[in-house]
Amino acid sequence: DQQVKQNSPSLSVQEGRISILNCDYTNSMFDYFLWYKKYPAEGPTFLISISSIKDKNEDGRFTVFLNKSAKHLSLHIVPSQPGDSAVYFCASQETGANNLFFGTGTRLTVIP
């Protein structure tokens, strides 16, 4: 049973506009959340994270928002650039656990 869900397999956005990628989780014990980016033929690379004690974390063009009551997080990229085109994975963890639970990914295409 998928504990982390990314319901949009793909997203296309014009260059310069905002990209919003969404993620839902079911386990209320999750308290740490991450986004990874993956280019073809490469392993995923860490992008940004957020602890459950926060509802927002910003790093340059990337901002992650966490809504604990809705068990929902989102990644905002603004402005979007063609180099942002990749598959984005959401991941969640319970502190002390060994495992990161990953979603199925959303393929973002930024159109020049």
**Cα–Cα nearest to 82, from 8, 36, 9, 19:** 19
With vertex at residue 8, the alpha carbon angle to CA 100 and CA 54, rounded to the nearest 5 degrees, is 50
Residues with Cβ within 8 Å of residue 66, at least 6 apart in sequence: 33, 50, 52, 54, 55, 56, 72, 73
Of residues 14 and 45, the one with the C-beta less far from another protein: 45
**Pairing label, strands 62-67, 56-59:** antiparallel
- Size of site (CB under 8 A) for another protein: 28
Residue 62 contacts another protein per CB under 8 A: no
Of residues 64 and 80, the one with the C-beta less far from another protein: 64
Tokens of 27: 């386990």
Region from 2-10, 14-22, 66-74, 76-84 binding another protein, contact rule CB under 8 A: 2-10
Closest CB 89 distance from another protein, rounded Å:
7
Compute CA 43 distance to the chain's CA centroid, rounded to the nearest angstrom.
Answer: 16
Residue 45 contacts another protein per CB under 8 A: yes
Of residues 80 and 106, the one with the C-beta less far from another protein: 106
Write out the residues near another protein by the rule CB under 8 A: 2, 4, 6, 32, 34, 36, 41-46, 49, 51, 89, 91, 93, 95-105
